[in-house]
Structure 1
Amino acid sequence: MKDVSSSVVLVQARASKLGLVLPAALTLALLAGCGGSSGEAAAAASAAVPTETKPALTVTVTRPQSAQLAGGLLANGNVMAWQEAIIGAEVNGLRLAAVHVNVGDKVSRGDELARFASEIPYAAALQAQANYENAKSEADRVRALGEEGIYSRSQLTQIYTAEKVAKAQWEAAQVTLAATRVLAPDDGVISARNATVGAVESTGNELFRMVRQGRMEWRAEVTPAEIGRVKIGQQVEVTTVSGLQVQGQVRAIAPTADPQTRNILVYVDLPRNEALKANTFARGIFTLPASAALTVPAQSVVLRDGHSYVFVVDGQSRVSQRKVEVGRRVGERVELLQGLTPLEAVAVQGAGFLNEGDVVKVVQ
């Protein structure tokens, strides 16, 4: 076998002097014809014919683009009633004769929400009026006769005081009679009802709650490190758990932080919308001034194990997995804060199926 190999080498050397290159197949034939084994021929064929790696996937690629993106500060919070009025009983020991509204009803200022039985207050008002008229008549008679010489100073004081007391009692009885009608203090929506027909209420008992003017607000929780980026009048896009998106505006910023969470409340006025429900969770984005950013299509960013990656495609169509930090997202483009340079190409379509070291076919 050593002589056979020497003969093949001699033939290749003479061909080289003449400027010829023996085909690989011819070299194999010489080896086989000189008594080489089939295993040796196969080994020589594998060494002589190079293997070609097939592409794992067909992908499209792109390079990062610079763009001016509007900034945004993300925060969580709750949708709450702007002001919730508590409407209570102003009379004591009276029976509720009628209730006119229920939860969800819209009311206007001055509408009658409920009414207490008024027989007792009405009778008390009539009695007070009679007492006042009697005291006033006596006082008028004394004033007509003249104050000097007939009555002593103490008698005059007693008569005039009785008149004033009787008048005050009459006015109080009128107020009590008027309080038997429970009226809406403002326009709004009834949010809670505790009033029940036939119940005997005490002064101060809560009968209804009302969202004043139907207004809602979003109370966002912002960390002390980010509160400096929030300003009065700033625009906010609020998204509720139901997917409803509304545009709000910052009305006020709390002067102190919550002692438990250490976050600062930001009060955002929301437009009137019946789909907004108080005491529900919502996310919001505070609009910040636009700034330069390096962006790639959102499709090129792959989330794995809680981290964001892109697949960089080199000149030999081989990909490498690169960990990146993402920032703002506008439409179908995502900001890359670090991990990629503007000159590198990344896989877009098909990026989610790639792995480190894959060879790909790039198409336009």
Structure 2
Amino acid sequence: MRLNLLHKTPAAWAALALVAATATGAALLASPTRAAGDAPARSEGRPAMTVTAEAPQRTALAQRLTANGNLAAWQEAIIGAESNGLRLTHVAVNVGDTVRAGQVLATFAAETVEAELAQARAALLEAQAAAAEAAANAERARTLQTTGALSAQQIQQYATAEKTAQARVEAAQAQLRVQQLRLKHTEVRAPDSGVISARAATVGAVVGAGTELFRMVRKGRLEWRAEVTQAELGRLKPGTRVDVTAASGASVQGTVRMLAPTVDPQTRNGLVYVDVPEHPGLRAGMFARGEFALGQTDGMTVPQEALVVRDGFAYVFVLGDDQRVQQRKVQPGRRADGRVEVLGGLEPNQRVAVRGAGFLNDGDLVRVTTADSAPKQAPTQQSQAQAATK
């Protein structure tokens, strides 16, 4: 045998070498192919992540109605001049000042009024003197009535003069009261306590009667005027609690005082008047948003962690019998105490992935565990890739 190998020709040796090389290459190519084919088989049976699962629950959720509106003064008083043609000499308050009822806000020049008041007093004294003389003459005429010294016509004239003089006294008294009122009106006083919201009074100005000088928010009290649709108007009633948040960030709790008796025919919206407490962050004219508390109703909820938002839509991952998850688009509703109401897209008997749901994809194979034994933090994508290569 050994002798035969030694006597082979060079061509035979070349043929044997070619056969050996071909067999070795085939073996090398076959080995990676099998290894690559085995890897998917192993990865398909390995869970992508360990998650916790939970079925939807019926939860009592607060029923709320959201509305927008503006803050306004509960009542705004307009304070004007009651005297005509007088000059303002002093303005005591400015916008934002808090005033009390009866406080002097501005003062007019009183010299002219005082002079006219003195003239009215003198006219009254003159009328009273004339009335006294007329009364005495009428009394003497009546005593002479039986003597015949005076005719009946003369006696009647004295009596008429007495009444005329008395009427002049009353007219003079009325004129005196007018001048006293004018003197009183030279001081502009607050009709009620509140906050000055606008000022038009200027020192030195000569204004007419009825000219607006100040505006005041009575009692400093504000209200929120919410706009609701005609359908929602019937769900509200006086006394309903409202959480009001202004554009400044200030948040207060108000109460519905009354509902508007009419609806705007253009917008079909009605106003709801809500009393709000005093707060330094609230100003009349501010925009505010509020939520009316309408009681509680039951709803199907899932943990907020189970809700995954992708591309602007909300999803949950439903667990199948083969431990694979299916991505389901759902419609979220109210939120309370870490749970989210699901309005559609999920059946009550379906379990959803909770912890780790944000790292799942549709069709992933998962391992379900209890909340106590689940990892505290969801693994990152890098750790998942490292686990898959092991």
Give the TM-score taking structure 1 as reference length: 0.81
Within 2, Cα distance between the matches of 1:150 and 1:166?
25
Alignment of 1:1-364 (within 5 A): 36-47=26-37, 50-53=41-44, 59-146=51-138, 149=155, 151=157, 155-359=161-365, 364=374
2:175 maps to amino acid: Q
1:303–1:153 CA distance, 2 compared to 1 (3 A): farther
Within 1, Cα distance between the matches of 2:289 and 2:308?
24
User: Greater CA deviation, 74-83 or 130-139?
Assistant: 130-139
TM-superposition CA deviations, 1:163-184 (whole Å, max 9, x none):
2222221111111111110101
1:340–1:136 CA distance, 2 compared to 1 (3 A): farther
Within 2, Cα distance between the matches of 1:101 and 1:156?
52
1:85, distance to aligned residue in structure 2 (A): 0.8
TM-superposition CA deviations, 1:210-258 (whole Å, max 9, x none):
1111111111111111111101111111112232221111111001112
Within 1, Cα distance between the matches of 2:288 and 2:127?
64
- Residue 29 of structure 2 aligns to a residue whose secondary structure is helix
1:343, distance to aligned residue in structure 2 (A): 2.9
1:352, distance to aligned residue in structure 2 (A): 4.4
Give the conservation status (yes or no) of the 8 Å contact 2:96–2:195: yes
Q: How many residues align?
A: 333
Within 2, Cα distance between the matches of 1:326 and 1:133?
87
1:157, distance to aligned residue in structure 2 (A): 5.0
2:99 maps to amino acid: V
2:194 maps to amino acid: G
Which entry has the higher C-alpha Rg, 1 or 2? 2
- Residue 130 of structure 2 aligns to a residue whose secondary structure is helix
1:196 maps to amino acid: T
1:272, distance to aligned residue in structure 2 (A): 2.2
Give the conservation status (yes or no) of the 8 Å contact 2:138–2:162: no
1:198, distance to aligned residue in structure 2 (A): 1.5
Identity of aligned residues (%): 51
2:130 maps to amino acid: E
User: Greater CA deviation, 42-51 or 69-78?
Assistant: 42-51
1:87 maps to amino acid: I
Within 2, Cα distance between the matches of 1:238 and 1:144?
77
1:38, distance to aligned residue in structure 2 (A): 3.7
Within 1, Cα distance between the matches of 2:248 and 2:51?
36
User: Greater CA deviation, 322-331 or 233-242?
Assistant: 322-331
Q: Extract unaligned runs of 5+ from structure 2.
A: 1-21, 143-154, 375-390
1:43, distance to aligned residue in structure 2 (A): 3.5
1:42–1:68 CA distance, 2 compared to 1 (3 A): same
1:42, distance to aligned residue in structure 2 (A): 3.9
1:129–1:294 CA distance, 2 compared to 1 (3 A): same
Deviating runs (4+, > 6 A) in structure 1? 32-35
TM-superposition CA deviations, 1:291-347 (whole Å, max 9, x none):
211222334334445443333343555433322222222232222222222333334
1:139–1:68 CA distance, 2 compared to 1 (3 A): same
1:96 maps to amino acid: L
User: Greater CA deviation, 214-223 or 46-55?
Assistant: 46-55
User: Greater CA deviation, 212-221 or 135-144?
Assistant: 135-144
Within 2, Cα distance between the matches of 1:299 and 1:155?
101
User: Greater CA deviation, 306-315 or 87-96?
Assistant: 306-315
1:314 maps to amino acid: G
1:317–1:193 CA distance, 2 compared to 1 (3 A): farther
1:135, distance to aligned residue in structure 2 (A): 1.4
Give the conservation status (yes or no) of the 8 Å contact 2:135–2:162: no
Structure 2 partner of 1:16: none
1:351, distance to aligned residue in structure 2 (A): 4.1
1:192, distance to aligned residue in structure 2 (A): 1.4
1:44–1:284 CA distance, 2 compared to 1 (3 A): same
Within 2, Cα distance between the matches of 1:85 and 1:58?
68
Within 2, Cα distance between the matches of 1:245 and 1:172?
51
1:45, distance to aligned residue in structure 2 (A): 4.7
